[in-house]
Amino acid sequence: MVERGTALLRKVEINVAEAEKRTGKNTVNMQETYSVYLIEIRPAETEGGTPAAPDTLWRRYSDFELLRTYLLVTYPYIIIPPLPEKRYRLPLISPLVGLENFLLRVASHPVLSNDKIFFLFLTEVSSQTCVAECPLKIFSLKHYSDELNSVISQLLRVRARVADRLYGVYKVHGNYGRVFSEWSAIEKEMGDGLQSAGHHMDTYAASIDDILEEEEHFADQLKEYLFYTDAVRSVCRKHELIQYELEMAAQDLAQKKQQKEELATGTVRIFSLKGMTSKLFGQESPEQRESRLAALEQSIQEGEETVKEKNTECKEFMRTAWEDIERFKEQKDRDLREALISYAIMQISMCKKGIQVWSNAKECFSKM
Amino acid sequence: DKGQPWQNPTTTGNKSNLLHQMNTSLADGSPMPNSPSSLVNQYRLEDDDEGQKDANTKDIFIAVDNPESQVTAIETFIMYRVATRTTRSEFDSSEYEVRRRYQDFLWLRSRLEDNHPTLIVHPLPEKFVMKGMVERFNEDFIETRRKALHRFLNKISEHPILSYSQHFKVFLTAQVSDLASHKKQGPGFLSRMGETVRAVANSVRGLRSRPEEFAVMQEYVEDFSNKMCSMDKVTQRIVKEQREYLEELKQYSPTYAQWADLEEELADPLKGVVSCVVQCSKESEEQIHHLSEVLVPALHEYVLCAETLKAVMRRRDNIQAEFEAKNEALLSRKVDQEAVKEVDGLADRMEQANNALKGDWSRWQHSMRTDLRSVFISTAEKNVEYYEKVRQREISASDSNFTHTEKTQTELLFLFFF
């Protein structure tokens, strides 16, 4: 297991060296141009037997944003260093310095520098494993899903209260109907006008029932997406589980490799019962050592298989899940846009009814 | 006696016909006629006359404005400016500007009622509002009162009899000190107490029978009063409900704004919803404003009118009761010249009162109908306007939504239907 240490900067040098423009297809299948930045890591020394971290790594601005959001949420009590502006007003100055600064500040923070995701942000290349990028992507999805859940819940609450109030307004107008009717009975010239106006007031009061029923449809559409957010969350959880299993397997493998090394070189770095007993009770025989080495070798091979399997599982899961998530996003945008339009159409229809009723009432009043 | 209209006719139009009628019976310039038939002639105005009278022949314009608070050692009160423009010849000048306080209006009204017990004198706004802890010097309260005082004076000025009252003229023209001395000339406090006691005593005795038409009127007044109270209550309830609706509606904007921040593709449509809600809230506020500033005061005024009508009916009843009491007393005693004279006087007084009321009744009904019709129409118009504006907002909000997607032709057409 690589020791990251409390001061990461003692171990590595971090540099944001270059910027490049790339084009590619984005989530809505449109061509876009974006900038990527080269992160250079020069480790002081590599220790242990983990795969050597690559010297360079390209990341785009949105990746930095994602990392920062992750840090903000995970360490709410810490002041997270800021990122530079996305586009500088002066074209000659690029955000290289600002981005490097950001990384250096995080790396020099006693708590943040220990964050696993930050470390992986600096070192992992997504094509090899999905250990760094996955958590960030999943994290952003989970974050979005939680926020969407909260906002839709709030919206549904407001909608219910507004509907209640609107019901009250319409229904009270029914009282006008009653009073106009009674009043018309005692008037001569005004009687007819009042009577017919009263009928329109009754119509107005009754119309709210249909209006609210139609509105329910919009609420149902919102509720559907509320439930969807739960489904998204469970996808995230599943990924977390696979991720966890992968990490366990990797840890396990690293430990075994360490043991092998110790056994091979005769140094005891990690405390083990076997090591202790051999010290106390004398070295084991060469044959015993050989068999132990062989067993370890076997175990390591199995371990490597497991890690490869888990890695594949993780990548496959991410691939299919991400595909479906993209599809879900498009569907969500479509559905909700249509829902908003239907709602507007319903409101327009409600206004039309209102105009009708009050125009009729006005005519009746003119005849008073 | 100066200030009597039939001595100096200067008005034009149909109203002059009325004055002409009065004039021909008073060619010798004798004071106010008191024979029933001529009084009846005075008050029988046709509907047509009424309408044209309002439009063409208004010869006096009164405004109540500019409230200012006055502080003295004893009290603080509000003075209003009363500005008059008139072409009537009984006024020495054509323009007047005086300052009056609420008490002065109360005085004027009570004098008018005293002089014309069975005419329908438009009510004044109430002394104070019980509900809602409204202070006397609260801006809204003062403005509401000012509008009502303005209406009061204009209603008096439109009344064919009351607008020619001497007290009315003094109210409009006299400086503050002159008004004070004029006020003192009226019947003293004690004599007015005496009248009230007599009236109460007579009403306790009760009427033998109310003439049919007044019985009908009485019933109408009771019912009308109930209906006006109901209308007032219902309208105030509607205002309350709409205010609460508006409060909840406003909650939509921050929520939709939060959501817009989360989204990419949906951000614009959602922001469109936010601005739509904000605009619709403004429209709703305007509508509520109309209800509370126009409809509620108008209905409230007619609640007070109903009370006025009840008082008029009571006074008419008392006049009849007084006559009946004295008449009965006379029948049981020996014929006495003075007593007969007194009873005759009371009989005349009763007939005058009844005719005055009958005449003013149709005028009042017409005026009520006009007032309420116009305020109901304006409310209906305001509501139509509100819905049309909201509809427009919704259409523009969904318009911005459309431009981003590939909507089918049918869906676009659908929208055009609205």
B334-372 pLDDT, tens per residue? Answer: 677 888 888 899 999 999 999 999 999 999 999 999 999
Residue B146 burial (CB count, 10 A): 18
Interval A249-255 mean pLDDT? 85
| Residues facing B89 on adjacent strands | none
In a domain, B37, yes or no: no
The proportion of chain A whose per-residue pLDDT surpasses 90, expressed as a percent, equals 29
Closest CA to B238 of A283, A174, A28: A174
Give the model's pLDDT for residue B41.
39
Q: What is the mean pLDDT of chain A?
A: 82
Query: Do A354 and B238 lie within an 8 Å CB cutoff?
Result: no
Identity of residue A221: Q
Cα A251 to Cα A303: distance, rounded to the nearest angstrom: 10
Contact B388 A336 (CB under 8 A): no
Q: Does the pLDDT of residue B228 top 60, yes or no?
A: yes
C-alpha pair distances (Å), A294 with each of A261, A264, A285, B160: 12, 11, 14, 125
B401 and B258 inside one domain: yes
Mean pLDDT of A225-243: 88
CA dist., res. B309 & res. B299, Å (int): 15
Both ends of chain B: CA-CA distance in Å? 69
Q: Has residue A240 got a pLDDT over 70?
A: yes
Q: Which of A99-113, B5-19, B115-129, B173-187 has the lowest mean pLDDT?
A: B5-19
**Of A31-35, A325-329, B347-351, which range is least confident?**
A31-35
**Residue-range definition of the domain harbouring residue B354:** 212-416
Distance from CA of A338 to the nearest CA of B (A): 9
| Residue B234 placed within a domain | yes
User: Residue B41 falls within a domain, yes or no?
Assistant: no
pLDDT tens profile A125-182: 544 445 556 677 888 888 899 999 999 999 999 999 999 999 999 999 999 999 999 9
Q: Using the predicted structure, report yes or no on whether residue B24 has a pLDDT greater than 90.
A: no
Rounded Cα–Cα distance for residues B96 and B94 (Å):
7
Q: Is residue B272 part of a domain?
A: yes
Which CATH number goes with the domain that contains B64?
3.30.1520.10
Q: Where residue A88 falls among pLDDT bands split at 50, 70, 90? A: low
The structure tokens listed for B28 are 């010798």
Q: Which class in CATH covers the domain with range A135-266+297-367?
A: mainly alpha
C-alpha distance from residue A286 to each of A279, A282, A292, A293 (Å) = 15, 12, 10, 10
> Is B256's CB within 8 Å of A348's CB?
no
- For an interface test with B, give the residue of A158, A225, A331 to mutate (most B CBs within 10 A): A158
Q: Is A46 left (phi over 0), alpha (psi -120 to 50) or beta?
A: beta
Q: How far apart are CA B356 and CA B32, in angstroms?
A: 14
Return mean pLDDT, chain B.
81
CA atoms of A250 and A304, how far apart (whole Å): 8
Interchain contact A147–B (C-beta under 8 A): yes
- Interface contact B234-A176, CB threshold 8 A: yes
Q: Domain for residue B399, yes or no?
A: yes
In angstroms, what separates the C-alpha of A140 from chain B's closest C-alpha? 11
3-class secondary-structure state, position A76: coil
In B, which residues are within 8 Å of A164 by CB distance?
248
Identify whether B36 is part of a domain.
no
Phi/psi at B95 (5° precision): -135, 140
Given this model, what pLDDT does residue A273 score?
64
User: A212 at the B interface (CB within 8 A)?
Assistant: no
Tell me: do B351 and B274 sit in the same domain: yes
Residues B251 and B392 in one domain: yes
Torsion of CA A71, A73, A78, A80, to 10 degrees: 40
CATH code, B286? 1.20.1270.60
Residue A361 in contact with partner chain B when CB distance is under 8 A: yes
B345: in domain: yes
Q: For residue B401, give the H/E element and its range.
A: helix B337-402
Q: In this structure, are residues B292 and B239 in contact, taking their beta carbons and an 8 Å threshold?
A: yes
Find the mean pLDDT for residues B96-112.
Answer: 94
From the list B220, B263, B384, the residue facing A359 with the nearest CB is B384
A337 and B404 within 8 Å at the Cβ level: the answer is yes
Number of domains comprising chain B: 2
Q: Is A264 on the interface with B (CB under 8 A)?
A: no
pTM (2 decimals)? 0.74
Please give the residue of chain B at the shortest CA–CA distance from A147: B262
Name chain A contacts of B402, Cβ cutoff 8 Å.
Answer: 341
Query: What would the pLDDT profile of B309-332 be if each residue is shown by its tens digit?
Result: 999 999 999 999 888 888 888 887
The residue-averaged pLDDT of A266-283 equals: 62
Q: Which residue has the higher pLDDT, B306 or B395?
A: B306
Q: Domain check: are B164 and B111 in the same one?
A: yes
Q: Are residues B92 and B182 in the same domain?
A: yes
Query: From the centroid of its chain, how far is CA B198?
Result: 30
What pLDDT does B188 receive? Answer: 60
Residues B409 and B303 in one domain: yes
Same domain, B261 and B402: yes
* Matching CATH number, A1-25+33-45+54-133, of 3.30.365.10, 3.40.190.290, 3.30.1490.190, 3.30.1520.10: 3.30.1520.10
pLDDT for A62: 81
Q: Which residues of A touch B390 (CB under 8 A)?
A: 347, 351
Res B43 pLDDT > 50: no
Does the interface predicted TM-score (ipTM) exceed 0.85? no
B146 & B230 share domain = no
Domain boundaries, chain A: 1-25+33-45+54-133, 135-266+297-367
Question: Which SS3 state, helix, strand or coil, does residue A40 take?
Answer: strand
H/E segment holding residue A356: helix A286-366
| Mean pLDDT, residues B127-151 taken together | 77
In a domain, B295, yes or no: yes
B28, pLDDT greater than 50: no
Q: Would you say residue A53 has pLDDT above 60?
A: no
